A and B are shown apart, each in its own frame.
Chain A
Amino acid sequence: MGMTIAEKIIALAAGADQVKAGDIHTVNLDRMMSNDGTTHLTVDMYHSKLNTPRVADPKKVVFIVDHNVPSDSPKTAAAQKKMRDFAKEHGIDFWEGEGVCHQVMMERYVCPGELIFGADSHTCTYGALGAFGTGVGCTDLLYGMVTGSSWVLVPETIKFNLTGSLPQGVYPRDLMLTIIGQIGAGGASYQVMEFCGDGAKTLSVEDRMVLCNLAVEAGAKTAIFEPDEIALKWLTDRGRRPKAVFKSDEDARYVKEYTFDLDKIVPVAARPDFVDDVVPAVQVCGVRIDEAFLGSCNNGRIDDLRVGAAVVKGRRISDHVRFLVVPASRQVYLQALEEGLIDTFMESGAIVMNPNCSVCWGSCQGVIGENEVLISTGTRNFKGRAGHPSSKVYLGSAATVAASAVKGEICTADML
């Protein structure tokens, strides 16, 4: 019986010839990532709960401070200090203010064929490079840090066959929201979303990150693209080598298959309070907004900033809108600075912040008030996600978000 890419990665990590969906295996982890959302709890448990505290291999662990950056309160500072001190003591790679964890991981660590645990749900992003990345809690992460291993239930795989190419003015985010809207918030629960087909070849690694990143919003354990020449060139350009380059076998088992024709995708928006409540963006046009957010591990990369900057160039952000622009990483910020995009945003009246999770995390930067409305390129639109429980969050593409910021109400870029 053939295996899918995900099964092959697990088999390699488990030292098994063959694995099949439903099996539980003990695996060696190639990398563990933890951020300031939970690391303070991991460190506390490390000190208080273990009989024999130890870190199996500090080189496999990465700590990234990205959620509350710069720190917004003494409690945050205490949590981050705990993390910093632990990293210092154990020789763990430590990044603070470098960018959103998944972007930093992709820029600096992730390699095809690796099995990576991250204490953050959007760890599924790493499938863009053909790695198996999945989100876990801090207890799992601690277990991994101590033993270098963990257990996984081998997931079933769903095949997403992509055909055609995205029309002008339609973005990978529109595609992924469309997919989630169709299959539902639990549509890929415990499963792997494998993207393939001619349409996949039209997507850059950054585009693929957008798709993989949101897979968890359909409940997926991870999402994955075959590491093709596009992925391998991207990797080589950054001086890294794959652990293993896997393709799914012809006779691999897929639990389900979907086909999406990229040519037919239109700009969409997810309505509050569920990511799978997806409608064509034109249906929500006219909703007055108080804040707009361009950023996050889903949509804060250079392509997204280019799209947003092209929309606002020569225009002013509406007086009653706070438009936060937050590049996903230092590298993205510097590229945007060099291309003049940062200047364009500043001239338009936007609020440009240092790379961090910002509004998408919703607890300390750009929080929105009672009954306020936000349109965001973030990952989630859950009730109260960005501030007051009565506030509303719409999700849209960078183009839709930027255009809405200018108009003061939701609109698509072609309506300006």
Chain B
Amino acid sequence: MGQTIVEKIISRNIGAEKVEPGQIVTVKVDRVMLDDIMIPFIVDKFHEMGFCRVWDPDRVVLIYDHLVPSSQLDDIRHYKVGDEFAAKYGIEHVHRSDGICHQLMTEAGYVKPGDVVFGTDSHTTTYGCVGAFSTGIGYTEMAAILGTGTLWVKVPETIRIHISGTLPANVMSKDMILRIIGDLGADGATYRALEFTGDTVERMSVSSRMTMANMAIEAGAKCALFAPDEKTAQYCGVSLDGFQPGLAGDRDAAYLKTLTYRAEDFVPVMACPSQVDKIREVKDLAGLPIDQVFIGSCTNGRLEDLQAAAKVLEGKQVAPFVKLIVTPASRKVYEEASACGAIGTLVKAGAMVTHPGCGLCCGRTGGILWDGERVVATNNRNFLGRMGTSKVEIYLASPAVAAACAAAGAIVCPL
């Protein structure tokens, strides 16, 4: 009997031949990510637990992203606590204004195929895009990992998502994952791993895969994995070792179920207020007037996303009285988007380009809205009140759709 990707990673991690779904095991942690919102809480728990050293400072990454730039006085405390903790325990990987945690973890090479990674943010599932087992945890567990380097996990069952064929021109990986979440439901993958396979997936860029792994949590998934390939190796700046190339689900692995999609069947879609699994085709929503568009986040703030938006907005202007806010996912993305002209195109079209960070997606600043306003956003959640009051309507979409809506001042489907 073969194994799925997540089973293989866990087996290797614990030195077992094989693990079974449902089995509870203790894994050795390869890397942890601590984000600025949670740092003071983690530090408090760490000390309360009685630890006096971090198990392996080189495996710890601190990232300030939700609170950058500071918008409230309380934010400063989080930087200070992080800086002091890093200095005291010899943690050198501290990113103070370089972008969103999930983007940096993969982009800066902190995560490699086959790694076991935990982060204090639910979108830690993102690193499955390079074939790592990664998931979000709370600050108490993070404090325990910092002291022990281990964590218990239940081996998840795996749902396979198989996609083959060629995507229509106006469809991005965001449209695919939204549709899949709609099909699974917001809790359809709770406690489970997703594994993406098929020639469509194989042809996708690592960035596109990242969008899908990122959003797996919106179906409740514990993690979401793609088999690492040459593209992955190049992205991570590694050559695949003896273990990594075989890190694909076995033919005879036991999947809980397999969902099969034809790429040609995907169309541009949106998640409607206020559930991520409330999916409708963009064409059915066409004409709804909008007040704001947000392009950014760990879901869709990468170079290819900004390029897709710039392509739509080239030579066009954002509609009157509509705001377009663009927040690149990282400093590197910003620099590359500047070099290729995408930033220039977007700013000329009327966009406000902010510094890389979580921005509006985490709802603290970056374009908060008021009662009755409607926003089209490329991020991962449209929960009630997430971007302002509970009377703000949030529609989630791909960067191409979002850009088209910005120009039209209404929901519209790009060609």
Contacts and interface: CB of A to CB of B under 8 A. Distances in A.
B354 A78 contact: no
Nearest to B357: A351
B245 interface: no
Given A69-B352, A347-B335, A324 B69 contact: yes
Interface string A221-248: 0000000000000000000000000000
B321 A353 contact: no
A201 interface: no
Interface centre among A74, A76, A324, A388 (most CB of B within 10 A): A74
Contacts of B23: none
Interface in B347-390: 347-348, 350, 352-355, 360, 364-371, 373, 388-389
B323 interface: yes
Contacts of A70: 323, 325, 352, 354, 360, 365-368
Contacts of A367: 70-73, 75-76
Contacts of A87: 321
Given A78-B371, A84-B321, A320-B83, A333 B97 contact: no
Nearest to A72: B365
Contacts of A77: 368-370, 373, 388
Interface string A386-412: 011000000000000000000000000
Interface string B331-351: 100110011000110011010
Contact of B373 (A81, A337, A355, A388): A81
B73 A369 contact: yes
A73 B389 CA distance: 9
Interface string A351-366: 1111100000000111
A23 B343 CA distance: 52
B104 to A, nearest CB: 14
A60 to B, nearest CB: 19
Interface string B79-122: 01001000000000000110000000000000000000000000
Given A338-B344, A353-B355, A78 B370 contact: yes
A322 interface: yes
A330 B83 CA distance: 34
A369 B80 contact: yes
Interface string B218-252: 00000000000000000000000000000000000
Contacts of B323: 70, 96-97
A74 B368 contact: yes
A57 interface: no
Given A71-B367, A77-B373, A346-B334, A337 B344 contact: yes
Nearest to A365: B69
Interface size class of chain B, counting residues whose CB lies under 8 Å from the partner chain: 35 or more
B97 to A, nearest CB: 5
B339 A364 contact: no
Contacts of B154: none
A80 B360 CA distance: 17
Nearest to B371: A78
B76 A72 contact: no
Contacts of A74: 368-370, 388-389
Contacts of B73: 367, 369-370, 387-388
Contacts of B366: 70, 72
Contact of B348 (A73, A76, A334, A387): A334
Contacts of A96: 321, 323
Contacts of A81: 370, 373
B330 to A, nearest CB: 10
Given A84-B321, A337-B343, A97 B352 contact: yes
Nearest to B369: A77
Contacts of A322: 69-70, 96-97
Contact of A337 (B71, B347, B388): B347
A343 B335 CA distance: 6
A355 to B, nearest CB: 8
Contacts of B77: 369
B68 interface: yes
A338 B347 CA distance: 12
A187 B134 CA distance: 63
B344 A364 contact: no
Interface in A59-95: 69-74, 76-78, 80-81, 84, 87-88, 94
A196 B87 CA distance: 55
A355 B350 CA distance: 12
A350 B216 CA distance: 33
A303 interface: no
A365 B68 contact: no
B69 A353 contact: yes
B226 to A, nearest CB: 30
B93 to A, nearest CB: 13
Contacts of A347: 335
A252 to B, nearest CB: 45
A71 B368 contact: yes
Interface in B190-209: none
Contacts of A353: 69, 354-355
A78 B388 CA distance: 10
B118 to A, nearest CB: 26
B99 to A, nearest CB: 11
B326 to A, nearest CB: 9
Interface string A267-304: 00000000000000000000000000000000000000
B69 A349 contact: no
Interface string B105-145: 00000000000000000000000000000000000000000
Given A351-B355, A355-B352, 12 more contacts: A70-B323, A70-B325, A71-B369, A74-B369, A76-B368, A319-B96, A334-B344, A351-B69, A365-B69, A365-B365, A368-B76, A370-B73
24 contacts: A70-B325, A70-B360, A70-B366, A71-B368, A71-B369, A72-B71, A74-B368, A77-B369, A77-B388, A78-B370, A81-B373, A88-B321, A96-B323, A319-B96, A333-B347, A334-B344, A342-B343, A349-B97, A354-B354, A364-B365, A365-B71, A366-B69, A387-B70, A387-B73
Closest 3 A-B residue pairs measured CB to CB?
A369-B76, A70-B367, A354-B352
